[in-house]
Structure formats: C-alpha cells, structure tokens
C-alpha cells in the first residue's frame, strides 16, 4: 500500500496529495516512468490530451499489478475541444486512448478566455460527472474571475484548480479564494520548471543541507505542508523515488518563512489571460515549441 497521504475533495472523493506528472514525456519513457512511480507508491498519475501520451499512460496502468480502483488518473480537455459537443467527443477519445472505463478527474486545461467557451464546456463536464465516467471534475489555470463566471452558471463546483505554483509563484490570491470555495489547489511546475534555477537557489540549498535532503525534496515538502496537491514530473527512476520520499521529515516555521520570501510572482508558463487555442498565440505558441501542433485546429 502507498504511504502517500490523501486529501478529500469537495464531493468526498479521496485524492493522493502527491502524484506523477507526465508533461513532455514521450513513448516508452512514459510507460517506464508511470511503472516506476506506481512501484514506488505513487497512486496519482496526471496526463492530458495535449501531452500526446494518454495511450502510454493507459498501457502502464493496465500492466501494473495495482488494482485500477487504487489508482487516481487525471486527464484534461484541450482548448480546441472546448464547447459542449466538442468536449463530450474529446472525453470519449481520451478514455479510448487511456483504455479505461472512467477517469478519477477530468479538467478543463485552460480557461481560454478569448474563446469564451468554458461555461458551456463545463456543462458537458457536469454531464460526464453525472454519468460516473469521471469521478470528479475541475479546472486548470483559472483565475478568480474565471471561477466566478463558471460557478455563476454551474451546478457542480470544481473539485480542483490545477495552477502553476511554486515558491517563486505562490499564487496567494487564487489559493485563498479556492479555500473559501472548498476547491482543492493542485500545483503544476511545482519545482519551478526547467531553466527556472529554483533548484539552485541558495535559500533552498541551505534548507536542503539542514535536513540532508535534495532541493527538489524541500520544495515538494513545502507544497505538502502548504496543503497543496503536487505532481512533479520526472522520467528518471531515482528522482521519481526521491520525489516521493518526503513524508518522514518536516520543514519548521523558519524554513517555511524563508521559502515564503522567494515569491516574486515569476511565471514559467503562459499567463492564462493571454492565450487561446491557435498556434502563434499564448499556449498555442507554447505548445508549438513542444512539437504538439498536431492538436491545433
């Protein structure tokens, strides 16, 4: 059994507080990473249609000796699939690629405010949720104004808001709002992303030396103690194991205060207000750089 603690979502569903993200992972490295994660005690696996690796995630899950009901599988709806009818079709395709009868969590990947379709998209997700094919539904990268507009027209409150969040982008406003609405916050890019240099920050390194831990373990532990769900990505078996080895120590108040001072509001990914589904703008350009343009319209 996994020793990773769980949080309880607003619909009563239990969700592991730490999982594996597979963004940018490809082919057999996805299968190997998911297999290593499950063997190391992970039970939460986070993928998305735009990642292009749902099939490999499903392959690893089916090959695992861990029962499906013990795993928590998340996938996400891409921007160009927003809209009521499109969302339902896209969900069916994700299930088919995963080779699963249901997912534990289905998310709108971005609000894409220029498209202005996330309210009708949410209505489709509500029906998917009511059918039982998604045990919970939520959103990614939603600011307060996006959540307010969504919930003014919703029957179901999002269970999750998955956002870019790390010590340099602490996102206090949206976190406080989500707590007030009983929406669990989940951190993507939790250690600051590649090239962010957060792992080399001297404050993090001093705290890591104090606890005889890696810099990544200190940052992941900060997420855990902050009440966040965290999904660090790695395709390296040793790092996958290390990232989950954070439950036998604790950061003290002084550690937490020092890390809090690292918040500069620095984003590593796109601003959700400045993107839509087209290549060349916002997340479309971001996806283009990752060779994911096959998902464009």
Domain of 50: which CATH number? 3.20.20.100
The pLDDT assigned to 283 comes to 45
Q: Is 106 among the catalytic positions?
A: no
225 pLDDT more than 90: yes
39 pLDDT more than 80: yes
Domain-located, residue 39: yes
Stronger pLDDT, 197 or 278, i.e. the higher one? 197
pLDDT, tens digit, for every residue of 152-185?
999 999 999 999 999 999 999 999 999 999 999 9
In the chain, how many domains are there? 1
- Collapse the DSSP code of 52 into the 3-class scheme (helix H, G, I; strand E, B; otherwise coil) and give the result: coil
pLDDT interval class at 277 (50, 70, 90)? low
pLDDT-above-90 percentage for the chain: 87
Domain-located, residue 170: yes
Q: Mean pLDDT of all residues in the chain?
A: 92
Domain-located, residue 1: no
pLDDT, tens digit, for every residue of 115-162?
999 999 999 999 999 999 999 999 999 999 999 999 999 999 999 999
Q: Rounded to whole angstroms, how far apart are CA atoms 47 and 33?
A: 12
> What range defines the domain where residue 216 resides?
6-295
282 pLDDT more than 70: no
Domain-located, residue 147: yes
291 pLDDT more than 50: no
The pLDDT assigned to 268 comes to 87
DSSP H or E stretch at residue 15: strand 14-16
Out of 42, 51, 106, 118, which one is annotated catalytic? 51
């Amino acid at each position: 059994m996994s020793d990773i603690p769980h949080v309880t979502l607003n619909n009563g569903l239990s969700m592991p507080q730490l999982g594996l993200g597979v963004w940018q992972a490809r082919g057999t490295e996805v299968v190997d990473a998911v297999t290593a994660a499950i063997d190391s005690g992970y039970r939460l696996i986070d993928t998305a249609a735009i990642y292009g690796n749902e099939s490999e995630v499903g392959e690893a899950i089916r090959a695992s000796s861990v029962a499906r009901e013990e795993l928590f599988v998340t996938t996400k709806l891409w921007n160009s699939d927003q809209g009521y009818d499109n969302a339902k079709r896209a969900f069916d395709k994700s299930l088919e690629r995963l080779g699963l009868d249901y997912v534990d969590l289905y998310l709108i990947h971005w609000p894409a405010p220029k498209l202005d379709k996330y309210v009708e998209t949410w209505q489709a997700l509500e029906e998917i949720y009511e059918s039982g094919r998604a045990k919970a539904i939520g959103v990614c990268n939603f600011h307060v104004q996006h959540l307010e507009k969504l919930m003014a027209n919703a029957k179901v409150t999002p269970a999750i808001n998955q956002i870019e969040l790390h010590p340099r982008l602490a996102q206090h406003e949206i976190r406080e709002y989500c707590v007030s609405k009983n929406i669990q916050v989940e951190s993507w890019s939790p250690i600051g992303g590649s090239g962010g240099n957060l792992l080399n920050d001297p404050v993090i390194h001093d705290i890591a030396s104090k606890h005889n831990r890696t810099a990544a373990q200190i940052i992941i532990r900060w997420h855990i103690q902050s009440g966040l769900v965290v999904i660090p990505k790695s395709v390296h078996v040793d790092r996958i194991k290390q990232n989950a080895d954070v439950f036998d120590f604790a950061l003290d108040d002084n550690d937490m205060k020092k890390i809090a001072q690292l918040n500069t509001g620095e984003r590593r990914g796109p601003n959700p207000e400045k993107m839509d589904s087209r290549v060349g703008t916002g997340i479309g350009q971001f996806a283009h750089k990752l060779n994911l343009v096959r998902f464009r319209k």
